[in-house]
Amino acid sequence: MATLKYLLRTENENANIFIRYSISRNVRLIKKTNFVINANDWSEDKAQPLQRNETLKNLTDKLDKLKMFIKDAYNNATANGTEITGEWLQLQIDVFNNKTPIVELDVLTNYIQKFINEAPYKSNQKREFGLSDGRVKNLKLFLNTIRKYEIDALKGKSIIIKNINIQFVEKFKMWLFGKGYSINYVGKNVANILTICNDAHKNDIETSTQIKNIKNLSETKAPEDVIFLSEQEQELIKNTPLIREALINARKWLLLGCLIGQRGGDLLNITAKNIKDINGIKIIELKQQKTGKLVAIPLLPEAIEIIESGLPYKTSLTHFNEHLKDICQIAGIDAPTKGRKKVTANNPTIKGVFPKHELISSHICRRSFATNFYGRIPTPVLMNITAHGSERTFLSYIGKTTYDNAFQMLDYFSKLVPKEKTPPQMEVLRNVN
């Protein structure tokens, strides 16, 4: 049976009076009552104010009424199957004190779930309706991360949107870093917090005025941390004997992907309908899922060879990622490489040095294309195919700097052959004897 007891946690002149509500042996909820008292006027044995004057007697009366109010609310809640949580107890205290109660959508996890439920009707980056499957998946992971944070760092207390300020975000970031998450993963979570808070503000949910001052963060990879397959490694993979049909199929997707530079989701959706012949030139034309951009990619002879041998059959991105690691392991792509990988599915990635094949995923296709063809194909053309918005982002993506771009220009200049200067020639007009 639930029991309620009042207590103080300090011996100050203005000590907060707390409720300790014991639901069971394992569930004890503690909340402020919003009443204060001088600790010298408190009876520890009776867990109530000493009856020294009228003010203390009135305070005792209010505490008794609050106790009865919570008891009645508890009986109604259990009859209706309502879960008794810290938020539930806080709501009863707020209602009793005539404070504006916290409504369902004030709670961060509830609002995130609402945002996910409304994903088909949300405007996306392409200014169309419907968030992508990848974006929805990211939001679901974000929701799970917030729930873990509430359990681990907040002792099960729900996060209220209006309490999300700079200090909250800093504590959340430190918790994420302490769990071993990467800078980019932390940055994505901060970006999601800002997205949810801004959407809540548009829907008249109270938010902190500090939201606009919260800064995001992202990681710039050092050149040696950029993982790609060199053309020599691709040739090794191409000539490696494989037995399993699934691996042979995935190898086709991998080699084709390294020649057309598309994200995994776009690559695996290519069919014969995407292959066209324009003025005798074979191209792949597709609409990128993330950007909504229509791109046309001329096919190199090696890509045409893969396609003419029979397009690989459709596979899921999950299976493709698994097969890539197996293919690269069989091919001996195992040089010690710096990177991040998941040890278990439910834990964050860890940074370290691993055999290269353990770090391979579908993203290797796009990065390999961009890295291997940099300097051989004009950068704006490469960016148009890979759909990078700025040259700075593109160079960071392949582990280059603006200095590399300058050296590339010098290389081009050195190959320009100046017109040969020849001395003026005299022409004989007439012989004079």
Q: pLDDT tens-digit profile of 298-351?
A: 888 999 999 999 999 999 999 999 999 999 999 999 999 888 777 665 566 777
Residue 13 pLDDT: 84
Instruction: Count the alpha carbons within 13 Å of 211 in the hemisphere toward its beta carbon.
Output: 19
Say which residues have a Cβ less than 8 Å from residue 375's Cβ, sequence separation at least 6. 408, 411
pLDDT of residue 234: 93
Please compute the mean of the pLDDT values over residues 147-172 and round it to a whole number: 88
pLDDT at 330: 94
Q: What is the mean pLDDT of residues 407-415?
A: 51
| Bridge partners, 354 (sequence order) | 337
Q: What is the pLDDT of residues 354-365, one digit of tens each?
A: 999 999 999 899
Q: Where are the beta strands (DSSP E) in 279-409?
A: 281-287, 294-298, 336-342, 349-355
% the chain with pLDDT above 70:
86
Residue 400 banded pLDDT, cuts 50, 70, 90: low
* DSSP code, position 130: S
Tokens of 428: 């004989």
What pLDDT shows up at residue 14? 85
Quick check: 408 pLDDT over 80? no
In the predicted structure, residue 390 carries a pLDDT above the cut 80 = no
The CB-based long-range contact list for 352-358 (8 Å cut-off, 24+ gap) reads 355/329, 356/227, 356/328, 357/325, 357/328, 357/329, 357/331, 357/333, 358/325
Give residue-wise pLDDT tens across range 67-120.
Answer: 998 988 888 888 777 788 888 888 888 878 877 666 678 889 989 998 998 888
Look up the pTM and report it.
0.56
Q: How many helices (H) and strands (E) does the chain have?
A: 15, 10
Percent pLDDT > 90 in the chain is 35
Average pLDDT of the residues of the chain: 83
249-301 tens-digit pLDDT: 999 999 999 999 898 889 999 999 999 988 888 889 888 887 778 888 888 89
Checking if the pLDDT of 12 tops 50, the result is: yes
Predicted confidence at residue 126, as pLDDT, reads 59
Poorest-pLDDT segment among 58-67, 157-166, 378-387, 417-426: 417-426
The predicted structure's pLDDT at residue 403: 46
pLDDT at 147 over 60: yes
Q: How many whole angstroms separate alpha carbon 286 and alpha carbon 217?
A: 32
